Chains A and B, each alone.
Chain A
Amino acid sequence: MQLEYFHMIDRIVDLNVDEKRIVVEALVPNASTIFEGHFPGYPLMPGVLLIESMAQASGWLQLGVLKFERMPILAAVKEAKVRGSVFPGDLMSIEATLTHQGSGYAVTEAKIRVGGKLRANSTLTFTQIPFPNADMRGHMDAIAKRVGFPQQAVSP
């Protein structure tokens, strides 16, 4: 993870577009400027970044299901619960499932576990827009390569 750049996902562990489910991993860094303020002497992952991590996992799932034809944009956060703290050095396993694919929008359920224990969960709504420009598409392609997005999952 590179928190300052909003690189919240390290690697895609499993993407199943038929089951509309994804599992990703993210190792919380031991050092980050974020932890200098949150909090001195007691660093822990901000809840909003846990939500962002769940949103990005959900985003990769949608990119797979939509075969990169649309870009999901977070629109609403519901029922978000931070059930336990996540600390520097923790390895987060994030699972997301697509519970509803609407017309131009989608709803996902996402969970963060550390060591098998549930630390956060949320219900997230996304709008799905055409890629606004080539820069964004290129950026997502580059990140897809970095996180090991399985291209065969979206092959025709």
Chain B
Amino acid sequence: MSSTFDQVATIIAETCDIPRDTITPDSHAIDDLGIDSLDFLDIAFAIDKQFGIKLPLEKWTQEVNDGKATTEQYFVLKNLCARIDELVAAKGASA
């Protein structure tokens, strides 16, 4: 089974028509890859479906807007993948 990063990078490449080889774990989805909020909805939808989770986009956005978190914490891909892994693990623990 491919890693979380590989799956997320494939989703981003296919959803946003971004060359797969330009997407790295250190890529910032917004600043480096130029993904806007509407495209990120498509990405979130694909991630939600593929991993069986619900990315808490509203909570993350609120934290960033309130200065309690940085966009890097959620939108640099290695960090996004870590959040996904946490959500998958939490889902497994509560199942």
* A and B form one complex: yes
Tell me, in angstroms, the Cα distance from A75 to B58 when the chains sit together.
16
Query: How far in angstroms is the closest Cβ of chain A from B47?
Result: 10
Contact between chains at B44 and A103 (CB < 8 Å) = yes
Contact between chains at B58 and A104 (CB < 8 Å) = yes
Chain B 8-22 interface residues, beta-carbon cutoff 8 Å to A: none
Contact between chains at B54 and A105 (CB < 8 Å) = no
Contact between chains at A100 and B48 (CB < 8 Å) = yes
Query: How far in angstroms is the closest Cβ of chain B from A126?
Result: 9
Cβ–Cβ < 8 Å partners of A121 in chain B: none
Interface size grouping (class) on chain A: 10 to 19
Tell me, in angstroms, the Cα distance from A100 to B52 when the chains sit together.
11
Cβ–Cβ < 8 Å partners of A101 in chain B: 54
> Is A76 in contact with chain B by the CB < 8 A criterion?
yes
Cβ–Cβ < 8 Å partners of B54 in chain A: 101-103
Tell me, in angstroms, the Cα distance from A99 to B44 when the chains sit together.
14
Contact between chains at B55 and A103 (CB < 8 Å) = yes
Q: Residues 60-74 of chain A: 1 if any B CB is under 8 Å from the residue's CB, otherwise 0?
A: 000000000000000
Q: Residues 50-73 of chain B: 1 if any A CB is under 8 Å from the residue's CB, otherwise 0?
A: 000011111101000000000000
> Is B82 in contact with chain A by the CB < 8 A criterion?
no
Chain B count of residues within 8 A CB distance of the other chain: 14
> Is B41 in contact with chain A by the CB < 8 A criterion?
yes
Contact between chains at B45 and A103 (CB < 8 Å) = no
Chain A 77-104 interface residues, beta-carbon cutoff 8 Å to B: 100-104
Contact between chains at A76 and B42 (CB < 8 Å) = yes
Tell me, in angstroms, the Cα distance from A102 to B51 when the chains sit together.
13
Query: How far in angstroms is the closest Cβ of chain A from B82?
Result: 18
Question: Can you name 16 extra interface pairs (CB under 8 A) apart from A76-B38, A100-B45, A105-B45?
Answer: A75-B38, A100-B48, A101-B54, A102-B41, A102-B44, A102-B45, A102-B54, A103-B44, A103-B54, A103-B56, A104-B57, A104-B58, A104-B61, A105-B57, A107-B45, A125-B42
Q: Which 5 A-B pairs have the closest CB atoms?
A: A104-B58, A103-B57, A103-B58, A103-B56, A105-B41
